[in-house]
């Protein structure tokens, strides 16, 4: 599309057409040139020599056809995808866990999301988004429409951590039990050796500044706030060391050749809400909820994929594969109800942590 726009721009400049390069202007140009050359006989086939006028018109029509094709493809793909399958336009090309060819082959697929409560599947949906973080908000909204209520506590793994998700849960008054992406890594010696990371610097809340490994101050340099389309305010703070010359830790702290001094970028809402979520999951309640997330959610996925041998959809299109999911989850819940009834566990909602 970018190369095509540049070609059309050059053609516009030659013809004295000013302003932005748009599809409407290209259509108008093709119509004008078609009318202009209406009396010229166009030839086709082997051994025929095309006139310069015919070549010019065919080139313009080719550009128009390509542009319209690109626009159609972009409309099918939408804003949040970078690919789609011709055999199933609702699906996105992804790398699957099961790679029989062992070559990282891309296959059309969906990102399946389920919500589990008291061991029952209470929500299921499939999305073309390859990342889990982009599915949390639409999935919660879809569940609220179906249940006419919302869950008070949201438990999810590290793949769902994002600033937008934190802000959404905070604005709705829902407690976040999302595991931070660096929850395990931050405990390692390898991470603690990275002295340039914010987590390894001392923060003075009173003066709003950080102190590096050498004890030098990084005061607040500037702040930048933006309002998202959902009305959330995202603030990015920049902390700058006034002088890093002669510092013995400079090479380990940062490797930027563009800036001589250390610049620390902090996304305030992500840090604050992420720390709150970290505190939530380390409480006794948070530990129990995380334990149950591993047992109930991953257990449900395991039953569907391996016990039910459901590793591939039998139909195409989001509507059709959603029906498959609903029927599959319905059968799962019926079996779960029977199993809990037989073991006298109908009133048990959470598994207790076993003490060894």
Domain of residue 7, residue span: 2-77
> Binning pLDDT at 50, 70 and 90, where does residue 343 land?
very high
The model's pLDDT over 132-173, given as tens digits with 9 standing for 90+, comes to 999 999 999 999 999 999 999 999 999 999 999 999 999 999
Q: Is residue 356 part of a domain?
A: no
pLDDT score of 139: 97
Q: Is residue 60 part of a domain?
A: yes
Partnered with residue 210 across adjacent β-strands are 203, 218
Say how many C-beta atoms besides its own lie within 10 A of residue 261's C-beta. Answer: 17
- Of 237, 252, 277, the domain-final residue: 277
CATH of the domain at 124: 3.30.420.10
Q: Is residue 91 part of a domain?
A: no
303 and 221 part of one domain: no
| Rounded Cα distance, 333 and 26, in Å | 57
174 and 112 part of one domain: yes
- Of 277, 294, 324, the domain-final residue: 277
Say how many C-beta atoms besides its own lie within 10 A of residue 253's C-beta. Answer: 23
The model's pLDDT over 28-77, given as tens digits with 9 standing for 90+, comes to 999 999 999 988 888 888 888 999 999 999 999 999 999 999 999 999 99
Which residue is associated with the tokens 């057409």? 17
Q: Is residue 125 part of a domain?
A: yes
273 and 290 part of one domain: no
With a pLDDT cut of 70, the percent of the chain lying above it is 99
Please name which of 169, 182, 173 lies closest in space to residue 278, comparing C-alpha atoms.
182
197 and 263 part of one domain: yes
pLDDT score of 355: 64
pLDDT score of 226: 93
135 and 270 part of one domain: no
261 and 203 part of one domain: yes
Q: Mean pLDDT across the stretch 108-113?
A: 94
160 and 285 part of one domain: yes
Q: Is residue 7 part of a domain?
A: yes
| b/e sequence 72-103, b meaning 16+ C-beta within 10 Å | eeeeeeeeebeebbeebbbbbbbeeeeeeeee
Q: Mean pLDDT across the stretch 279-288?
A: 96
> Binning pLDDT at 50, 70 and 90, where does residue 356 land?
low
Q: Is residue 90 part of a domain?
A: no
54 and 202 part of one domain: no
Task: Please determine, for residue 349, whether its predicted confidence score (pLDDT) is greater than 70.
Answer: yes
- What pTM was computed for the model? 0.86
Q: Mean pLDDT across the stretch 241-247?
A: 91
195 and 324 part of one domain: no
Q: Is residue 126 part of a domain?
A: yes
Do residues 218 and 207 lie in contact, with contact meaning Cβ atoms separated by under 8 Å? no
Please name which of 302, 292, 335, 325 lies closest in space to residue 142, comparing C-alpha atoms.
325
With a pLDDT cut of 90, the percent of the chain lying above it is 85
35 and 168 part of one domain: no
DSSP string, 59-117: HHHHHHHHHHHHHHHHHHH-SS-S---SS-TT-EEEE-S--TTSS--EEEE-EEEEEEE
12 and 159 part of one domain: no
Q: Is residue 167 part of a domain?
A: yes
- Of 277, 305, 328, the domain-final residue: 277
268 and 285 part of one domain: no
Q: How many domains does the chain have?
A: 3
Residues contacting 214, CB < 8 A, separation 6+: 247, 248, 249
């Amino acid at each position: 599309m970018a190369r095509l726009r540049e070609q059309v721009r050059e053609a516009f400049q030659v013809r004295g057409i000013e302003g932005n390069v748009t599809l409407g202007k290209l259509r108008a140009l093709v119509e004008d040139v078609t009318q202009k050359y209406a009396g010229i006989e166009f030839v086709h086939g082997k051994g025929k020599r095309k006139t310069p006028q015919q070549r010019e018109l065919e080139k313009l029509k080719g550009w128009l056809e390509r542009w319209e094709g690109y626009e159609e493809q972009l409309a099918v793909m939408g804003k949040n995808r970078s690919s789609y399958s011709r055999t199933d336009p609702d699906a996105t090309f992804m790398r699957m866990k099961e790679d029989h060819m062992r070559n990282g082959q891309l296959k059309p697929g969906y990102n399946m999301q389920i919500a589990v409560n008291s061991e029952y599947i209470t929500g299921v949906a499939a999305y073309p988004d390859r990342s889990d973080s982009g599915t949390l908000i639409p999935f919660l909204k879809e569940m609220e429409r179906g249940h006419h209520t919302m869950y008070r506590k949201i438990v999810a793994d590290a793949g769902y951590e994002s600033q937008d998700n934190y802000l959404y849960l905070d604005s709705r008054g829902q407690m976040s039990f999302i595991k931070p992406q660096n929850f395990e890594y931050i405990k390692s010696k390898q991470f603690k050796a990275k002295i340039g990371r914010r987590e390894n610097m001392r923060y003075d809340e009173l003066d709003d500044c950080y102190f590096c490994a050498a004890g030098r101050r990084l005061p607040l340099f500037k702040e930048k706030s933006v309002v998202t389309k959902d009305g959330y305010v995202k603030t990015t703070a920049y902390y700058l060391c006034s002088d890093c010359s002669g510092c013995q830790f400079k090479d380990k702290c940062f490797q930027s050749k563009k800036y001589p001094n250390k610049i620390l970028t902090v996304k305030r809402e992500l840090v604050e809400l992420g720390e709150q979520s970290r505190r939530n999951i380390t409480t006794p309640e948070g530990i129990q909820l995380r334990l149950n997330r591993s047992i109930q959610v991953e257990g449900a996925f395991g039953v569907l994929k391996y016990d039910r041998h459901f590793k591939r959809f039998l139909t195409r299109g989001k509507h059709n594969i959603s029906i498959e999911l609903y029927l599959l989850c319905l059968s799962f819940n019926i079996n779960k109800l029977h199993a809990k009834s037989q073991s006298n566990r109908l009133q048990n909602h959470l598994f207790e942590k076993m003490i060894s």
